Structure 1
Amino acid sequence: MFKVRTYNQISKKGLERLPVDSYSLQDDCDQADAILLRSYKMQEKDISPTVRAIARAGAGVNNIPLDVCTTKGIPVFNAPGANANAVKELVLAGMLLSSRGILSGIDYVNSLQGQYSDAELSTLLEAEKKRFKGGELAGRTLGVVGLGAIGSRIADMALSLGMKVLGYDPALSVEAAWRLPSSVERMDSMAAVMSHADFITLHLPVLESTINIINSDILASCNASTVLLNFSREQIVDTSAIVESLESGNLGKYISDFPSSKLMGRKDCILMPHIGASTDEAEDNCAVMVAEQLRDFLENGNITNAVNFPSLKMFRDGGFRLTLTNDNVPKILGNITTILADANINVIDLLNKSRGEIAYNIIDVTERPSAEVLASLSAIEGVINVRLL
């Protein structure tokens, strides 16, 4: 029976992917095999020695101490793309709200309550509607910074609306490139996107290289009509630089679900709670994805969408399965196979892959390794943990 400690409220559809006959879900457990959470700010003290994996039902993992987890040999799973459609639709809403007098029109209509008859109201609004005239999205240019699961969907949506799309992503993966519509014009720099787009939407992770990447220097490339949308991460934008650019005329409007006291109350900002992924469907999708990944790791040792471990998946074809996590240094794999050979244990199949300073191995063997063999494997210098599945 695997014990899974849950933080926050996890979608029922996700929890249902963990069978009750082999998984015990608890919101208070000191000896958990795994942790499943959403936005809970995890500390090192929350990670007991028994924890083998952590799963975040969402894309961002800034609330999890990744360095600590990696050192302990704990993969941290997330759900990239599971909330992509929800964010895509909110970006569309942000562009519409910024280009048409929708919010101001609603406020104006509500301010007239109880003052006029329906006939008078109809005449008045017909005369006043020109105050709320805006522009259409068709024919305008959207710049997408970050062309991953969300950015590629937004690019495709914008093209279907008749917009021109410019894209920039310095770390575009092969998988993401395949998802990207061929009509998207790839740009060589963020400044090029900023200077040519009417709307710019940000979809970057928080890395050391992306913190405050939207700053005064890059905003200088914008113009007085540019609309910047940030439904990605608060830390990638320098809020003070946004204020300066709005006031100087280098930026037209700022739309975000990361409110700041420096921006609240401004007519050139549309701010809302952090609701980019707040749909029932997105919460279900995220929970289902990470629950399935967590189960596959606990039962089979396979790793999919771990932010700190290499992806590694091997089908089971009989025998017994070992998984080993180790420092990414020479000779460890050789030492592992030597110990197995000395114990007359034949290897059926083996996969080894590294990511940064960590390496991970899946090894299927013909005989069940004894406690002594497992102890010898664990004693290899550089080996972090060993599991027999």
Structure 2
Amino acid sequence: MFTIKTLNNISPAGLAKLGPSQFRIDEEGAEPQGILVRSAQMHEMELPESLLAIGRAGAGVNNIPVEKCSEAGIVVFNTPGANAGGVAELTIGALVLASRNLWPAMQWVQGLAGQGDAVAKLVEKGKSQFVGPELAGKKLGVVGLGAIGVKVANAAAHLGMDVYGYDPYISVDAAWMLSRSVTHSVSLTELLAQCDYITLHLPVNDQTRGFMNEGVFRGCKPGLRLLNFARGELVDNAALLAALACGQAAAYVTDFPKEELLGVPGVVCIPHLGASTPESEDNCAVMAAEQLADYLLNGNIKNSVNLPEVVLPRAAGKRVCVLHKNEPGLISAITAVTTEAALNIENMMNKSKKDMAYTLLDVTGPVGGQLAERLAAIPSVVRVRVL
């Protein structure tokens, strides 16, 4: 029986994937084997020795001490693509917001309250100040072609936009899903220079933080309309405000409000609603729970941010899970222990991700209680489980 601790309200659809015969849900569990979390901050949290895995019901893991988890042998899962529908729909809505000046127009019309029968005439007289371009025939640059970026690109193409996509690391699955009408750009500089709209769908890391900076804005087509429903840190807000002031940028719609952006003409701030749909919450919870359960029960890892993807169908015998540093000689050291224990390896897989690696073995033979101890004694082995 595995104990799963929840740090936020997790959708019942996800919790239903953790059957009561194998899992116990406990919001206050002191020694859980798994944690399900949405936005709760874990950086100051004491991680119990019992903890094997964390399932983040969402894509971002900024609230989780990933490096600390790796050192402790804790697998951190996220759910990329589970909220793609909700974020993509809001991004398409933001294209219209950025074009048609809807936010200032709606604010203005609310100010006509109390004008009585004069409202209709005032509307006709004042509406010209909010004229904005249609989307059809305009060029949209989609930077980042993951699950969300592909959906946005395809939908924008259906709206009649000329869509250009840029992603040097596009996956095979994403490439298959991308519409033929989307032009796959190989030059980010050219994409930025020719597109009327840019939408960002990138992760935040040391390479992408401040991606839209002063130099990049200078290289964009004048009058750029920028959308950001990925992460606020992708945009240098000071550079953005300067671009708006000089006309290099015409509009910015973001799901990540900051004090310096509020009340600025041309900026529309949305209160982080990208994944705030019942469907997204259900999808994220289900995906996180299924990945967590598969790891705890079978040792399989899929969509981990700190460990490689290792999914191996179960064979006969016991399954041995070895989480270790990515260093030479570990595989031979592991197999030497199984050989000494007179075990036959029926199935085996090893993969690495940066400094960490993971080895799965299905073994038959006399699996004694000391096998895990012997494997754990190998230098650079972080955690061992025998299932």
**Scaled by the length of structure 1, what TM-score is found?**
0.95
In the alignment, is the contact (CA less than 8 A) between 1:223 and 1:249 conserved in 2?
no
Q: Does residue 167 of structure 2 align to residue 165 of structure 1? A: no
Runs of 4 or more above 6 Å deviation: none
Structure 1 unmatched runs, 5+: none
- Which of 231, 251, 254 is 2:252 aligned to? 254
Contact 1:215 1:241 in 2 (8 A): yes
Counterpart residue number, 2:99: 99
1:241-277 deviations in Å (ceiling 9; x for gaps): 1111111221111110111221211121011211111
Mapped pair 1:38 → 2:38? yes
**Residue 114 and residue 29 in structure 1: after superposition, are their counterparts in 2 closer, same or farther (change >3 A)?**
same
- Matched residue, 2:332: 334
Matches within 5 A, 1:1-389: 1-43=1-43, 45-117=45-117, 120-367=118-365, 369-389=367-387
Contact 1:44 1:68 in 2 (8 A): no
Alpha-carbon contact 1:98-1:227 (below 8 Å) kept: yes
Alignment partners' CA distance in 2, 1:184 and 1:53 = 39
Query: How many Å separate the matches in 2 of 1:133 and 1:287?
Result: 42
Post-superposition CA distance 1:145-179 (Å, at most 9, x none): 11111111110001111100111123223333222
Distance in 1 of aligned mates of 2:33 and 2:52: 5
Structure 2 counterpart of 1:52, one-letter code: L
Q: Secondary structure at the match of 1:293?
A: helix
Give the distance between the partners of 1:368 and 1:81, measured in 2 at CA: 43
C-alpha contact 2:342 2:366 (8 A) present in aligned 1: no
CA contact (8 A) 1:145 1:202 kept: yes
Indicate the percent of aligned positions where both proteins have the same amino acid: 43
Equivalent residues of 1:353, 1:359 under 8 A apart: yes
Cα distance in 2 for residues equivalent to 1:133 and 1:375:
72
Structure-2 separation of matches of 1:46 and 1:237: 33
Deviation at 1:128, TM superposition (A): 4.0
Q: Matched residue of 1:258: which SS?
A: coil
C-alpha distance in structure 2 between counterparts of 1:26 and 1:145, whole Å: 41
- Tell me the distance in 1 between the aligned counterparts of 2:372 and 2:121: 84
The alpha carbon displacement at 1:368 in A equals: 5.2
CA distance, structure 1, for counterparts of residue 260 and residue 106 of structure 2: 25
Aligned length: 387
Moved more, 20-29 or 161-170: 20-29
Corresponding residue SS for 2:116? coil
Q: Secondary structure at the match of 1:252?
A: strand
TM-superposed deviation, 1:134: 2.3
Counterpart contact for 2:195–2:221, Cα < 8 Å: no
Matched-pair contact (CA < 8 Å) for 1:97–1:103: yes
Tell me which amino acid in the other structure corresponds to 1:285.
N
Give the counterpart letter for 1:145 in structure 2.
Answer: V
- Against the structure 1 CA distance between its residues 253 and 368, is the aligned structure 2 distance closer, same or farther, given a 3 Å change threshold? farther
Distance in 1, Cα, partners of 2:255 & 2:94: 10
Counterpart of 1:71, as a letter, is: E
Alpha-carbon distance in 2 for matches of 1:130, 1:254:
21
1:340 counterpart SS class:
helix
Deviates more, 1:342-351 or 1:205-214: 342-351
In the TM superposition, residue 191 of structure 1 has moved relative to its aligned partner by 2.6
- The answer as to whether partners of 2:194 and 2:221 remain within 8 angstroms in 1 is no
Q: In structure 2, give the amino acid aligned to 1:372.
A: Q
State how far apart, in whole Å, the 1-side matches of 2:9 and 2:358 are: 31
- Work out the CA distance in 1 between the residues paired with 2:101 and 2:120: 18
- Matched residues in 1 for 2:105 and 2:45: separation? 51
- One-letter code of the match for 2:302? T
| Maintained 8 Å contact 2:226/2:253 | yes
Task: Read off the aligned partner of 1:279 and give its amino acid letter.
Answer: T
Is residue 3–residue 25 contact of structure 1 (8 Å, CA) maintained in 2?
yes
Q: Which amino acid aligns with 2:353?
A: R
Q: Which amino acid aligns with 1:370?
A: G
Q: Distance in 1 between matches of 2:132 and 2:104?
A: 11
1:103 Cα deviation from its structure 2 partner: 2.6
Counterpart of 2:26, as a letter, is: Q
